[in-house]
Amino acid sequence: MRKGGAWWAWLTFAIGATYFLVPLIATLEFSMRQRNNPVFSLFGQGYSFGVFNNVFGDPRFQQTFTYSVLAAIFTILLGVLIVVPTAYWVRLRMPYLRPVIEFVTLLPLVIPAIVIVFGYIRMYGSNSMLPFLGTTGGTNVLLVIGYAVLSLPYMYRAVDTGLRTVDVPTLTEAAQILGAGWTTIIARVILPNVLIAVLSGAFLTFAIVIGEFTMASLLNRPAFGPYMQNLGANRAYEPAALAIIAFALTWGCMAMIQFLSRYAPRSANRPN
Amino acid sequence: MTEQTNVATMATPAVSKTRLPTQWLGVTPFFLFAVLFLVLPTMYLIIGAFQNSDGQFTLANIRQLFLDPSIRASYWVSIKISFWSAVLGALVGLAIALAIVRGGLPNWVRSATMTFSGVASNFAGVPLAFAFISTLGRLGLVTIILRDVFGLNLYTTGFNLLSSYGLILVYLYFQIPLMVVIITPALDGLRKEWGEAAATLGATPWQFWRMVLIPVLWPSFLGTVILLFANAFGAIATAYAFTGSSLNIVPILLYAQIRGDVLNDPHLGYALAFGMIFITGVANTFYIWFRTRSERWLK
């Protein structure tokens, strides 16, 4: 290996970079094409940022985006509520259950989202035992539940990795000596210790939920994903602007995860 | 120390054989959640796939998956798209991973590639379709540059972005980075000593590749190809935003079926969903099998 890199490595990198960067550049260019009131022009084509104003100013954008942000927040809360106590308890008392739990959390990667939501629609209709789909509020709850299922593999893995760096039995004993109950232990001892892991899982969940299309569309909820799809079918330049916004959002979430990982503890002070 | 242990034993009373298994209470919410919102809905569809409209057991729905020409075609198109996007994505991803791990590129290239791969592997769905329409659609930047600068009109050469080939090209945008993210750690696990050992024994670089590296990497490579396959097979949002319902792939057919029973037979719809679970399930079983095999050398 020569210093500075082999030629084939640079060539591979250059080809890869071209394939990945050209669509981003093209999308940005497309979104800025504007016949009216161009701010500047290149090669005879006028450009402006006007379309971003159109997108951000569209009340439908604001409503659906807010809806999806709220859905993401509730999904994260539900995910934390289910995953943190379970992962903690399994590590403390039932380590033999770990393979089972891991298998279950990986199932959402095996069963496509469209199949899961199909099952919901058939099982939780207004005439069923649990008529989630009978009311708007119930449908919203079911959507959040569905999103929590989709994010289960990522959330569980993040929290479980975080717990690996925590001396769970000692912390539990110490808290119990001081008279803490299970809720206090989980909320005030365990959760702060795995907060960085939880936040990484949360940002990944956010990235998945914010533009999710399949579940929201089939449950007829006014979320950001179906809005984007609808706009794509009816407008020319706005979809490109939305793609740029969505890419920036994904980038932001991943950047947060990388940033947080710098503060994550590497190992437990004492082995579990 | 002894004091602490004593208190701890007092706080968690010794488990006797007659005690109720209260520790199961701790995992009840999780299993309740998983059963209600993951297992039961899936089982509902699977059971429905093997029933007729009177609730009796039948294999007719499954047989119909193979007999109905439009369903058969949709599975075939889905499998083709998933297969090629997985194989091409894995090969290109492997090439990029090899370049950044073994190509001696500066450090910033590696960290930039890894960061970007993390983002791009999660950049799927509706916006991805828009990005490629802006690039290679009839008015896309690349189409226009090829036409105006190079005098090449893509759309008279028979090129059509809104086709299976176009969709493969789009899927590569998340398949390649996913391969990079998964296979780079495996490449990092290749020991430098193996190369030195092979060289000491007089192996040529080609022999080293053929007899050491490829056999060691093979299970992780194959496993990841299968994972990419399952990843593409279940995806719908990109394809739907891309072509609407004009492209006949299984998830889009299932979407139309859920929306409006286009097959005129709810149980055939369950069978369609069962077919998807079956294919992704088999794929994931192989993936897990290959992963356990690869861990033998790479851990």
Supply the pLDDT for residue B18: 61
CA distance B61 to B48: 9
Angle value at C-alpha B293, between B291 and B297, nearest 5 degrees: 105
Q: Is A10 a domain residue?
A: no
The CATH code of the domain that includes A205 is 1.10.3720.10
Q: Is A272 a domain residue?
A: no
DSSP letter at A235 equals: -
DSSP letter at A3 equals: T
- Report chain A's terminal Cα–Cα distance, integer Å: 42
Pick from B41, B123, B233: which is nearest to A123 by CB?
Answer: B41
**If we measure between CA atoms, which residue out of A128, A151, A130 comes closest to residue A205?**
A151
Q: Is A189 a domain residue?
A: yes
- Between chains, do A232 and B126 touch, taking CB under 8 Å as contact? yes
CB of A249 less than 8 A from some CB of B:
no
Supply the pLDDT for residue B4: 46
Please list every residue in chain B whose beta carbon sits closer than 8 Å to the beta carbon of residue A255. 115
What DSSP line would sit under B80-118, residue for residue?
HHHHHHHHHHHHHHHHHHHHHHHS---HHHHHHHHHHHH
Q: Is A94 a domain residue?
A: yes
Predicted confidence (pLDDT) per residue in A16-50, tens digit: 999 999 999 999 988 888 766 777 777 777 788 88
Q: How big, in percent rounded to 5, are the helix, strand and coil portions of chain A?
A: 75, 5, 20
Which structure tokens are listed for A159?
Answer: 């929290």
pLDDT, one tens digit for every residue, chain B (299 residues): 444 444 444 445 555 556 667 788 889 999 999 999 999 999 999 999 999 888 889 898 899 889 988 899 999 999 999 999 999 999 999 999 999 988 888 888 998 999 899 889 888 889 999 999 999 988 888 988 898 888 888 888 878 888 888 999 999 999 999 999 989 988 888 888 888 888 899 888 888 888 888 888 888 899 899 989 999 998 899 999 887 777 889 999 999 999 987 888 888 999 999 999 999 999 988 888 888 877 776 65
CB A155 within 8 A of CB A83: yes
CB B162 within 8 A of CB B108: no
**Domain ranges within chain B, ordered by starting residue:** 73-298
CB B119 within 8 A of CB A251: yes
When computed from its CA atoms, the radius of gyration of chain B, rounded to whole angstroms, is 25
Tokens 């940033």 found at: A259
User: What domain range is A233 assigned to?
Assistant: 64-71+82-261
Residue of B nearest to A83 (CA): B30
CB pairs under 8 A between A and B: 269
Please list every residue in chain A whose beta carbon sits closer than 8 Å to the beta carbon of residue B23. 89, 93-94
Distance of residue A42 Cα from the nearest chain B Cα, in angstroms? 13
CB A121 within 8 A of CB A133: yes
Pick from B31, B44, B98: which is nearest to A119 by CB?
Answer: B44
CA distance A194 to B98: 34
Pick from A5, A106, A239: which is nearest to B106 by CB?
Answer: A5
Please list every residue in chain A whose beta carbon sits closer than 8 Å to the beta carbon of residue B259. 218
CA distance A22 to A25: 5
Q: Provide the number of structural domains found in chain A.
A: 1
CA distance A37 to A42: 14
- Between chains, do B38 and A240 touch, taking CB under 8 Å as contact? no
Q: Which residues of B17-29 are buried (b: 16+ CB within 10 A; e: fewer)?
A: eeeeeeeeebbee
Please list every residue in chain A whose beta carbon sits closer than 8 Å to the beta carbon of residue B129. 232
pLDDT, one tens digit for every residue, chain A (272 residues): 445 678 889 999 999 999 999 999 999 988 888 766 777 777 777 788 888 888 898 999 999 999 999 999 999 999 999 999 999 999 998 999 998 999 999 899 889 999 999 999 999 988 888 888 889 999 999 999 999 999 999 999 999 989 988 889 999 999 999 998 888 999 999 999 899 899 999 999 999 999 899 999 999 999 999 999 999 888 888 889 999 999 999 999 988 888 888 877 665 554 44
CA distance A109 to A143: 17
Q: Is A34 a domain residue?
A: no
Q: Is A97 a domain residue?
A: yes
CB B239 within 8 A of CB B252: yes
- Between chains, do B7 and A93 touch, taking CB under 8 Å as contact? no
Supply the pLDDT for residue B5: 45
Which structure tokens are listed for A44?
Answer: 């005879």
Please list every residue in chain A whose beta carbon sits closer than 8 Å to the beta carbon of residue B250. none
Please list every residue in chain B whose beta carbon sits closer than 8 Å to the beta carbon of residue A119. 40-42, 44-45, 273
Pick from A145, A152, A240: which is nearest to B134 by CB?
Answer: A240
CA distance B117 to B115: 5
- Between chains, do A229 and B126 touch, taking CB under 8 Å as contact? yes
Which structure tokens are listed for B258?
Answer: 């859920």
- Between chains, do B37 and A3 touch, taking CB under 8 Å as contact? no
Q: Is A28 a domain residue?
A: no
- Between chains, do A110 and B284 touch, taking CB under 8 Å as contact? yes
Supply the pLDDT for residue B17: 54
CB A235 within 8 A of CB A68: no
CB B90 within 8 A of CB B168: no
CATH top-level class for B73-298?
mainly alpha
| A positions 127-186 inside 8 Å of B (CB) | 130, 145-146, 148-149, 152, 173, 176-177
Please list every residue in chain B whose beta carbon sits closer than 8 Å to the beta carbon of residue A243. 127-128, 130-131, 134
Pick from A22, A115, A176: which is nearest to B273 by CB?
Answer: A115
CA distance B275 to A188: 46
Pick from B7, B45, B115: which is nearest to A118 by CB?
Answer: B45
Run of H or E including A45: strand A45-47
Per DSSP, the three-state class of B248 is coil
Predicted confidence (pLDDT) per residue in A43-83, tens digit: 777 788 888 888 898 999 999 999 999 999 999 999 999 99
- Between chains, do B11 and A110 touch, taking CB under 8 Å as contact? no
Please list every residue in chain A whose beta carbon sits closer than 8 Å to the beta carbon of residue B269. 118
The pTM of the whole model exceeds 0.90? no
Q: Is A51 a domain residue?
A: no
CA distance A251 to B251: 27
Please list every residue in chain B whose beta carbon sits closer than 8 Å to the beta carbon of residue A25. 141
